Structure 1
């Protein structure tokens, strides 16, 4: 067993103070950090547990404006009836994450703060043009996700909520690894007041990204048929044991077609 000091934060302000202790890391659901610690890819001296902070939990729906607090679990997002009524694509996406044990513990804040290149939430928030709220400021999703496992978060900054306006139509489709259920390719499409936004996870060499080719094709015709013949360049896509860059390039278009068809139902 590796030695680590555990701290249960009572509030966001308390967590910020505790972060100054040694080489401390924030613990939310622990779905990424704990496995990383087991393999010694991460070895913090201290863990600051956010899971008991009530101000970080809950979903608010006011008309088409949605606020999800950072400590809200995937399970709670997946089952929230108000959210299903205004933006069903997001609860559907949350229901596809991992297995029940992961969904009961994993949180939206932990997912986006870690920015795993195969995670689902980064694609959703990027496509939904969401705003990430921290204890210091508000950050547009376009500026928040900066690279593999990298975000715009600064030292001592904690994600407290995400907020966005529900689009008229949206859907998420992913081709997932049958073992881990991570996306080999996941595509979230949204058609809102400011036009079409399409975000891709699981495929990019630099993490989540928007597909300009697919967005352009759907801008004047939000229909799966509009993507016939569309090509996504493979040069910035990932090749690994699961799929080549060329395979992922084709799969992005396939998943986008399925997502658009689902959004139009």
Structure 2
């Protein structure tokens, strides 16, 4: 398994280098055949590695495994949308963070307790993971937006200005991801709430409570954007704030445990 993890890390590092070189060169494209091949192989290796760990360990109590699973989902959503949306620049942040999440499973021991999956929650889990994926990519976009804005204000000739799309396109992409994620988060809450009422599951109740706070933050952001054209720092701060609550909902309790 360590070989799989190491090869996946190597693949994501090479993919990052491909993207950086392509984005800084007017003659290259980040979506060429070599990039696709290496990224797909890395994704397959990471999927196999994650699957083998999930057979023996529980993401309920293993923060690093849950984190790596989250980044696996983020990479799948990124892969599906990079052909339709100008989001290849996100790989400059996504791929290195993915490598760190893989390393964390190699460097730190995993607890071997494996909990059984309640199949009544499968639909809720699917909606939850997809919403975390979209909103996670939106959070990465928000981080890049804040960094891009800082560079534009303080450094006139910055490499970041040439690599990233315009701020307008960056914000448009961020809100598209947020709207997709918000819809899926809504479906996640709807499908998870009845289970809490019937079974009084404290673990699910805690997750849904923080997810509901995140839902309110994203609802406010979307409402303000379409009604008052809120953009800039306020929009990125709200996007990141919503993701913080989702992070607590999905991963926060695992840190304590």
Please indicate, yes or no, whether the TM-score normalized by the shorter chain is above 0.5: no
Structure number with higher strand proportion? 1
TM-score, L = length of structure 2 = 0.32
Higher helix share: 2
Which structure has more RCO (C-alpha within 8 Å, separation ≥ 6)?
2
